Amino acid sequence: MKRLVTIGISLLLALSLAACSSQPASNSSSAASSASQPSNFAADNSQSEAESESDTLRIADQGIFSAGGTVISSDGTFDVANYYTSREGSTSHVDHANVLYQIPEDNTGLPMVFLHGYGQSRMGWMTTPDDREGWSDLFLRKGHSVWLIDQPRRGEAGQTSVAGTMTTEPSDQTWYTQFRIGTYVDDAFTYNEGSQFPSGKEALDQFFRQMTPDTGMDNAAGDQNIDNTVVAQAVAAAIDEVYERTGKDSILVTHSQGGMPGWEAARYTDHIAAIVAIEPGVAPEVGSEDYTAMLEKEIPVAFYYGDYIGEEFTHIPAARMWAMMASSADTFTEAYTEAGLTSTVIHLPEEGITGNSHFMFQELNNDVIADHVENWIQENVK
């Protein structure tokens, strides 16, 4: 993340002025010219200092904590004499969420809790592959505190009650294609036409290095099943903790696989002000427990989808699959709005925002999309 820090501009200015005044004058004309320069220099730097000050993102408070989870234990009695190898009568704290938070000085909006998707961690919200500001910074600037989750069994919340396996099988090209960034042809990554994804080898290198495994999955066997209930309960515990600390309900922002436990979290907490789902794998089934909980708690919902979705994109392998998944949002929204609640399906190209993949929040126009999300929040969330 980038931070602008004011660093002794007055001291640098003083040194510059001293250097200017120590220069010998060859004649009165040049002396007058020299005398006028520090004044202009000071004015220019005063303006620069003011601009830098206005761009500075000031954080009033920040920290990190764990939320939810459980404790498992083994039978027997712990052997103190062999403490290094004894595992009898022992405990492990597992299946929790890990939450990094920042609260801006200008804290005027509702808290925003961010939940990542499959193969990701909170890092995806914090930066971009080309090292620009991520959504966490952009929404801090809009007056929201941000609470960035590593879901159970991922990232800094890796302690698990279920033993998973790791795999070294390469898969970059698969995910790149699934995410609708482009595909891989003739030993080279391609970009979809008009793509907003940062281009170049360095950006791709940074993007692929964001990927991280789930410690509770049988990755070596190709398992991709997430225990949504474990994740949802930990997310709900995090949202409850945010309420305890701030006295405010939270806007839950989910991405991809994080969408499913995001819906379910509504069953375990009363403190979700709204859900903004970025290309969730599926919407809640009408009549399901998740749907009913959201309905009873009157939670406003927004679905965001990027570009390159639909049968017309015959050259994009994942376009048809994403169209099928996005259709579930239409079904949900029809029923939800008929019940008198708010659900909005946003296809960015219909808003004049084009070229976005599954990772719209990391792309070149991520600020434009953040503005759109903020406008939806202002219009629909109490």
DSSP 363: S
Cα separation of 339 and 299, whole Å?
12
Helix-helix angle 319-338:289-296, to 10 degrees: 50
Residues 200, 129 contacting (CB under 8 angstroms) = no
pLDDT tens, 89-109?
Answer: 999 999 999 999 999 999 999
Tell me the average pLDDT of the chain.
90
Give the C-alpha separation, 366 to 359, whole Å.
9
Residue the block writes with tokens 């919340």 = 157
Per residue in 123-178, pLDDT (tens digit) is 999 999 999 999 999 999 999 999 999 999 999 999 999 999 999 999 999 999 99
Q: Which residue has the higher pLDDT, 29 or 374?
A: 374
| pLDDT tier for residue 84 given thresholds of 50, 70 and 90 | very high
Q: Cα–chain-centroid distance for residue 44?
A: 37
Binned at pLDDT 50, 70 and 90, residue 25 comes out as: very low
The candidate with the shortest Cα–Cα distance to 296, out of 277, 276, 275, 270, is 270
Question: How do residues 62-79 score in pLDDT, each as one tens digit?
Answer: 999 999 999 999 999 999
